[in-house]
A and B are shown apart, each in its own frame.
Chain A
């Protein structure tokens, strides 16, 4: 689960939703499900990971493409009819800099300037791309004012279907759910350019794919999410959805052992406990940037202390009509990954 979605308010939420409802009992099939599912309201391709250059220093990166179906202009023959809108973010976390570099884009589909293909992963937006190559690798190219990324991702493990074979609940109601799979332990190689200097880098990443029509319960304020590539080849995803006014509305996750066996985590199996907070001087939001993640596994409760690469990994995407959130590279004792904290600056609406 992931995401930070366009703060584009969408019509028809109160009325009967014109979108397909997410229900249990599907079978994910690839590469078709790498491609877009345009009938659903929201969808994302979300890559996070750690990279290392020749000097051995670590940097974190994030590349995200969102697709939104605003359900407007359905009958409009105009080439500008807003059938789909694509948003994208990219960010680079370098501890030497102490703050995150980020860039964002948005556009309605059409004219070959923006679009998300069905059948396989091929998302484009004003020259930014995320696509699946014929050899099964993924490739992404993004460039902003301060940095650009040109990366290839080679899967080393099969996709990990989240929830019940890809049906992942997000709230007390069964339709508050998404279709969700992840691809952990992607092997990354490519170039990272900053200030006109390109640097070859390699590392490991995590791809999250999710599509839904009714993602967030109305009384949810935001979520904490983490995806960890563990050093032994295992993978852990855990999230909690916070209730407005305090408390936890829903939680969940999954743990794939190095041998490939998947353990589904129920709402009672996941606990996030804040250990250290950081307040953003820009937005005033207070983020629990270091947390103790406790997961109940068959062998007993396992603890994953989450330590940020550095504190200021806040992304302020309000300029692109998107929310403020914290998306940071984190370490745990036995692995590395990303932590996402949304709804801390203001309640999140999807």
Chain B
């Protein structure tokens, strides 16, 4: 008998649930879409990042030809070629292939030109060995000819050259005519690489005596590692393809993780939306559930039924999300490139690589969000006593009951503690944990905030009855307010946090650029293109008061970190140089060579003012850190050395940049034109304003994707507010009937609802902005320094804050009024009679 009853009650429940779905398909569709948006964003961002990284790694192995191990020069100055026989005969080394590496140009095309010994390369890095085109006229080709050039498919396409033709190649300030003798079939598509004989490359391009790389084939890794440590001087380091891939990974990882996190926020907002929608749907069906409870269904049955609804929403939403996400990733790669505008993977073309594991993870996350959003309200509904619930479909909360504040406080405190913890493995894991905890605390604390904000108004005379009613309603049912607001509070908070961070960052970069770009003209040539004669010619241009030449070189300090940029330039004095914004400094004793390190370099390598550092310049030497300067341009770190010291240590007199001060009485533009006339083509001369504009455009481009993600989160949140408020309003039609009986006009009820909406919107905005300000501080002071190694001062985005508040209040008011109009349209008497 009990069995039969249970069966009947299940049937009844199934019928009720099916009915809900039949009558309100739009509501379920909307929640599924919310999940789909979240999953799609997360998956798309993850796919794009993964594809970009994969193509970057592929590019690395392409250029390296998959050697077991490499000995690499620490700087583009290379190392002495006499290291080669010593490494080649070292224990554990089976073969060594010497490489000269040049960045070359042919017309407008750029490619990496490798000088190789074809015999050694065939044994160590066969993919870099050229294939001659097979044809009757190629019999006299010579792999040892000094002018035979082999191009990868991409380089061949980029230069427009054909096999058998001659090509003018420009590298290291020399133009040489080379014969395109064949292709490099082993180099993957998308990589512009050229290979020629190493002796020819050394001679033609002025690299006699120097090598940039030794590719090694090993037969005993352990023996080789020990031997190489002893052999390598200051000029070279041991590296594997893995370390180079790690370099690329290290540079962009923080950026990628940040984007992933933002995408997850969209998913989280979607989860809140499901929660809102399901809460309401459960509340409205409380009586129905109570009915099946009285028919014999246990509590678990109701939870299971609602959870099943959530699961269906989750599965449908997540599946759609994955499909949309994949499509978005393909489109985004076409539009923005592999780094979504972040500028980390320049040169590489990425193709979307489907990642089944990530797809599974995002599907699971979407499903989990939908399930959680359903089970939480279902549990609350199942707790209600069936008899009471049969009569009352309103707020389960007693208006007189105090609102709990401890969980929110605990979460907020936990977030605060997590924010103080250091980064793990270069990733601000605890920083993100802190943000998640603070966000959760903020959302949980909304009911308390509602009470807190409205209590002072409780006993005031508000002028009109509708306003009083609205205030009392929101004050009395803060749970409902919280349900409507959780999504929007979360997304507003995150948007404000991001906006605060970006505003602060942009402001910091802008004012830093203003300080740094103090000269009148800036000139930039390709690596080391300005020899002393060219420098003299530039300095002698009429109208130039001073030309400060500088040289920038990548310098490998640690093999698996990206090289820092060594900048050799004149430094007037420790404090007085305006283009060196010092954050900290130390005195330089006599007979020590000073260097000034950038803030990221100091963070990355633990350098502090006054400490001594060993740098691989002109043999291994020790330098005194004379100061730390602000730099937002080089995330991998930079070191400034006085040009005189640099020339003394390395003998390198080539320069690639110049900051030019125009003499009084001369027009900058005129000087610029006469300077251009004296320079070879390819040297850019720009004014600081242009540089500044360019830098800020790059900045905006790299943050464009974050704006998009924020906007989507806000839209999802607003949709949540709209859906929840209209549902809540419709559920209160009985209450409106009662009010009409008591004499309120429909206009007054609409006014009441508008006031309620405005109140909710305002509270949501206040909570979101306050929480966002807090999260912004975590972003600025925890996540940014831990991810990018630079600091900045906070600048508040007041415009955005006001705008978001206004938008929220407006949207909530409008929605409430529109919903109220529909709810009060029905006959007042009929509405009351619904009660039985």
Q: Are A14 and B140 in contact (CB under 8 A)?
A: yes
Which residues of B, 112-149, contact A by the 8 Å Cβ criterion? 117, 119-120, 122-123, 139-146
Q: Are B84 and A111 in contact (CB under 8 A)?
A: yes
Q: Are A10 and B142 in contact (CB under 8 A)?
A: yes
CB-defined interface of A4-25 with B at 8 Å, one 1/0 digit per residue? 0000111111100000000000
Chain B residue nearest in CB terms to A73: B199
Which residues of A, 47-80, contact B by the 8 Å Cβ criterion? 70, 72-73, 76-80
Binding-face segment, B67-75, B200-208, B236-244, B341-349:
B200-208
Q: Are A76 and B140 in contact (CB under 8 A)?
A: no
* Interface membership of B700, Cβ < 8 A: no
* Interface membership of B339, Cβ < 8 A: no
> What's the Cα separation between A150 and B198 when bound, in Å?
33
Chain B residues within 8 Å of A73, by CB = 144, 146, 197, 199-200, 203
> What's the Cα separation between A285 and B458 when bound, in Å?
102
Chain A residue nearest in CB terms to B140: A11
| Choice from A8, A9, A79, A113 contacting B88 with Cβ under 8 Å | A113
Which residues of A, 67-125, contact B by the 8 Å Cβ criterion? 70, 72-73, 76-82, 85, 106-108, 111-113
Q: Are B145 and A72 in contact (CB under 8 A)?
A: yes
> What's the Cα separation between A76 and B146 when bound, in Å?
9
Chain B residue nearest in CB terms to A75: B203
Chain B residues within 8 Å of A127, by CB = 89
Q: Are B140 and A85 in contact (CB under 8 A)?
A: no
CB distance from B676 to the nearest CB of A (A): 36
Q: Are A76 and B122 in contact (CB under 8 A)?
A: no
Chain B residues within 8 Å of A81, by CB = 199, 203
A107-B140 contact in complex given A77-B203, A78-B199, A82-B199, C-beta closer than 8 Å? no
* Interface membership of B456, Cβ < 8 A: no
Which residues of B, 184-210, contact A by the 8 Å Cβ criterion? 197-200, 202-203, 208-209
> What's the Cα separation between A106 and B89 when bound, in Å?
15
> What's the Cα separation between A248 and B530 when bound, in Å?
65
Q: Are B119 and A9 in contact (CB under 8 A)?
A: no
A78-B203 contact in complex given A107-B120, A113-B88, A321-B122, C-beta closer than 8 Å? yes
* Interface membership of B81, Cβ < 8 A: yes
Interface residue count on the A side (C-beta < 8 Å)? 28
Chain A residue nearest in CB terms to B129: A321
CB distance from B208 to the nearest CB of A (A): 6
Chain B residue nearest in CB terms to A104: B123
> What's the Cα separation between A76 and B208 when bound, in Å?
10
> What's the Cα separation between A8 and B143 when bound, in Å?
8
Chain B residues within 8 Å of A111, by CB = 81-82, 84-85, 88
Which residues of B, 702-756, contact A by the 8 Å Cβ criterion? none
Q: Are B199 and A80 in contact (CB under 8 A)?
A: yes
Chain B residue nearest in CB terms to A72: B144
> What's the Cα separation between A126 and B202 when bound, in Å?
23
A78-B144 contact in complex given A107-B119, A111-B85, C-beta closer than 8 Å? no
| Choice from A79, A85, A112 contacting B144 with Cβ under 8 Å | A85
> What's the Cα separation between A8 and B117 when bound, in Å?
14
Q: Are B146 and A72 in contact (CB under 8 A)?
A: yes
Q: Are A70 and B198 in contact (CB under 8 A)?
A: no
Chain A residues within 8 Å of B199, by CB = 73, 76, 78, 80-82
> What's the Cα separation between A8 and B144 when bound, in Å?
9
Chain B residues within 8 Å of A14, by CB = 139-140
CB distance from A313 to the nearest CB of B (A): 24
Q: Are B140 and A13 in contact (CB under 8 A)?
A: yes
Chain A residues within 8 Å of B145, by CB = 11, 72
Which residues of B, 71-96, contact A by the 8 Å Cβ criterion? 81-82, 84-85, 88-89, 95
A76-B95 contact in complex given A14-B140, A82-B144, C-beta closer than 8 Å? no
* Interface membership of B98, Cβ < 8 A: yes
> What's the Cα separation between A76 and B139 when bound, in Å?
24
> What's the Cα separation between A328 and B141 when bound, in Å?
33
Chain A residues within 8 Å of B203, by CB = 73, 76-78, 81
> What's the Cα separation between A81 and B84 when bound, in Å?
15
Q: Count the A-B residue pairs with Cβ separation under 8 angstroms: how many?
A: 83
Chain A residue nearest in CB terms to B95: A126
Q: Are B200 and A108 in contact (CB under 8 A)?
A: no
Chain A residues within 8 Å of B208, by CB = 77-78
Chain A residues within 8 Å of B146, by CB = 72-73, 76
> What's the Cα separation between A85 and B142 when bound, in Å?
13
Task: Give the interface size class of chain B.
Answer: 20 to 34
CB-defined interface of B573-616 with A at 8 Å, one 1/0 digit per residue? 00000000000000000000000000000000000000000000
CB distance from A109 to the nearest CB of B (A): 11
> What's the Cα separation between A79 and B198 when bound, in Å?
10
Chain B residue nearest in CB terms to A14: B140
Chain A residue nearest in CB terms to B81: A79
Chain A residues within 8 Å of B85, by CB = 111-113
Chain B residue nearest in CB terms to A10: B142
CB distance from B199 to the nearest CB of A (A): 4
Q: Are B98 and A80 in contact (CB under 8 A)?
A: yes
Q: Are A9 and B117 in contact (CB under 8 A)?
A: no
A11-B117 contact in complex given A73-B199, A76-B203, A321-B122, C-beta closer than 8 Å? no
CB distance from B100 to the nearest CB of A (A): 9
CB distance from A69 to the nearest CB of B (A): 10
> What's the Cα separation between A80 and B204 when bound, in Å?
13
Chain A residues within 8 Å of B209, by CB = 79
Chain A residue nearest in CB terms to B122: A321
CB distance from B402 to the nearest CB of A (A): 82
Chain A residues within 8 Å of B144, by CB = 8, 70, 72-73, 82, 85, 108
Chain A residue nearest in CB terms to B86: A111
Q: Are B120 and A9 in contact (CB under 8 A)?
A: no
> What's the Cα separation between A79 and B139 when bound, in Å?
27
Q: Are A80 and B202 in contact (CB under 8 A)?
A: yes
Chain B residues within 8 Å of A72, by CB = 142, 144-146, 197
| Choice from A76, A77, A106 contacting B119 with Cβ under 8 Å | A106
| Choice from A10, A108, A320 contacting B117 with Cβ under 8 Å | A108
> What's the Cα separation between A78 and B199 when bound, in Å?
6
> What's the Cα separation between A132 and B119 when bound, in Å?
27
Residue from A14, A80, A112 whose CB has the most chain B CB atoms within 10 Å: A80
CB distance from B111 to the nearest CB of A (A): 21
| Choice from B82, B119, B123 contacting A85 with Cβ under 8 Å | B119
Chain A residue nearest in CB terms to B96: A113
A70-B200 contact in complex given A77-B208, A113-B88, A321-B122, C-beta closer than 8 Å? no
Chain B residue nearest in CB terms to A80: B199
Chain B residues within 8 Å of A321, by CB = 119, 122
| Choice from B84, B89, B98, B200 contacting A76 with Cβ under 8 Å | B200
Q: Are A12 and B140 in contact (CB under 8 A)?
A: yes
> What's the Cα separation between A85 and B199 when bound, in Å?
13
Which residues of B, 231-275, contact A by the 8 Å Cβ criterion? none
CB distance from B80 to the nearest CB of A (A): 11
Chain A residue nearest in CB terms to B141: A9
Chain B residues within 8 Å of A126, by CB = 88, 95
A113-B141 contact in complex given A73-B200, A78-B203, A126-B95, C-beta closer than 8 Å? no
Q: Are A113 and B202 in contact (CB under 8 A)?
A: no
Chain B residues within 8 Å of A107, by CB = 117, 119-120
> What's the Cα separation between A127 and B219 when bound, in Å?
15
> What's the Cα separation between A270 and B200 when bound, in Å?
47
A70-B117 contact in complex given A78-B202, A80-B198, C-beta closer than 8 Å? no
19 new A-B contacts, CB < 8 A, other than A10-B142, A78-B200, A108-B117, are A8-B143, A8-B144, A9-B143, A11-B140, A11-B141, A70-B142, A70-B144, A72-B144, A76-B202, A77-B203, A78-B202, A78-B203, A80-B202, A81-B203, A85-B119, A106-B119, A108-B144, A126-B88, A126-B95
5 A-B residue pairings within 8 Å (CB atoms): A72-B144, A78-B208, A79-B81, A111-B84, A320-B123
Please list the residues of chain A having a beta carbon within 8 angstroms of any beta carbon in chain B.
Answer: 8-14, 70, 72-73, 76-82, 85, 106-108, 111-113, 126-127, 320-321
What are the 10 A-B residue pairs with the smallest beta carbon separation, nearest first? A72-B144, A80-B199, A11-B142, A111-B85, A78-B199, A82-B144, A78-B202, A81-B199, A70-B144, A106-B119
